[in-house]
Amino acid sequence: MHITLLYLSLILLFSGCKKYEEVVISGNTPPPDKTIPASLKESYINKVFISILGRKPAAGEFQQCMLIAGKNNFSGADRREILDTVFMKPEYREHLYSIARIDLLNDQDTNEIAQMIAVFQVLLQDSSYFVIWDLLGNEITRLNDLRAVPAGLKDGTIDEKELYGRCVNNYFYDQINMGTANFVVSMWQHFLYRYPTDAELQSASRMVDGFNASVFFQAGVGKKDFLSIFFASADYLEGQVRDLYSRYLFRLPGSTEISECTALYKSSGSYEGLQKKILSSDEYAGIK
């Protein structure tokens, strides 16, 4: 009797247990982790300071930017706010001039400019140079304009176009690119990333030499007109887009990128805005 009851109890016990099987649903993979690692934020901040100011951030600057980078998981808005804090620093415009001096003037500094002005002033006191006094006076004026660039950038009276205009319209640039043809070629290569066509070279040379000519479908006479037309042209705007892509992303932009960035630059007139668009991009930040 006891054995029978035990047997029945075991049957009821095991029959009451349910067997559960694990069901795997194919294709049900978890979403990727969108959290941006701290190392990427740190790298971005260091790159931005070097790109814009030519130096790494100080400890306080770095911590401030890291706090901004964490507001919205390093979003585009976070990056633009970081850029705003860096662009506000006086060193930003100083660095623009430093880059221009290196690229266009073989890094001539203010002391060398002052020394050349002094040389021309001495020649103005020598009557044997009477025939070229007007030319010497013009050279002094152009060098004084160049020497005034840092102060003009600092107080906002000079923008990047005026900066470049003064860097290519002075005694030093003329000596580096001697002759009208070399001057014109250097303008196309430095700012447009290409060589001028034969027609462009001929027309631009005539205008620089003081003859009536047309450049980019604009008529003018003399070097002053040429520079004004050149830096107002759509070709110049596109050239700046190419320059910044090459400098910050180490590649040239595609046709769509050129079109979009040139339109932005033209509508806003802001070189800083163009820089910000590229520097806040996922590509520059290293986000894939």
89-126: pLDDT as tens digits: 999 999 999 999 999 999 998 999 999 999 999 999 98
Question: Residue 216 — left, alpha, or beta (φ > 0 → left; ψ -120 to 50 → alpha)?
Answer: left
- In whole angstroms, what is the distance from residue 231 CA to residue 132 CA? 30
pLDDT interval class at 11 (50, 70, 90) = very low
Look at 8 and 48; give whichever has higher pLDDT: 48
177 vs 19, higher pLDDT: 177
Q: Record the tokens describing residue 223, joined without a space.
A: 């070097």
CB 172, CB 105: distance < 8 Å:
yes
Compute the distance between CA of residue 144 and CA of residue 38 in angstroms, rounded to an integer: 48
The average pLDDT across 70-80 equals 95
pLDDT digits (tens, 9 = 90+) for 212-260: 999 999 999 999 999 999 999 999 999 999 999 999 999 999 999 999 9
Cα–Cα distance, 160 to 221 (Å, whole number) = 24
Query: For residue 106, what is the DSSP state?
Result: T
Amino acid at residue number 148: A
Q: Whole-prediction pTM value?
A: 0.84
Give the model's pLDDT for residue 35. 80
Dihedrals phi, psi of 213, to nearest 5 degrees: -160, 170
- The residue ranges of DSSP E strands in 26-87, in sequence order, are none
- As a whole number, mean pLDDT of residues 154-177 equals 96
Report the distance separating Cα 30 and Cα 92, nearest Å.
Answer: 44
pLDDT score, position 14: 46
Query: How far is Cα 258 from Cα 243, in angstroms, rounded to an integer?
Result: 11
Say how far apart CA 180 and CA 174 lie, in whole Å.
Answer: 9
Share of the chain above pLDDT 70, in %: 88
Are 202 and 226 contacting, i.e. CB atoms less than 8 angstroms apart? no
Give domain limits for the chain: 38-89, 91-176, 236-281
Average pLDDT over residues 139-163: 95
Cα gap 226→210, rounded to integer Å: 10
Enter the DSSP assignment of 170.
S
pLDDT of the residue at 29: 52
Give, in order, the Cα–Cα distances in Å from 83 to each of 134, 167, 277. Answer: 46, 27, 10
How confident is the model at residue 21, as a pLDDT? 54
Q: Tell me the one-letter amino acid at 49.
A: F
Percent over 90 (pLDDT), the chain? 83
Contact 153, 99 (CB under 8 A): no
* Most confident option among 127-131, 132-136, 140-144: 140-144
The per-residue pLDDT for 34 is: 64
pLDDT value at residue 27: 55
How far is it, in rounded angstroms, from Cα 171 to Cα 175? Answer: 6
Q: What letter would DSSP give residue 222? A: S
Residues 202-238 as b or e (16 or more Cβ within 10 Å = b): ebbbbbbeeeebebeeeebeebebbbebbbebebbbb
- Provide the pLDDT for residue 288: 84
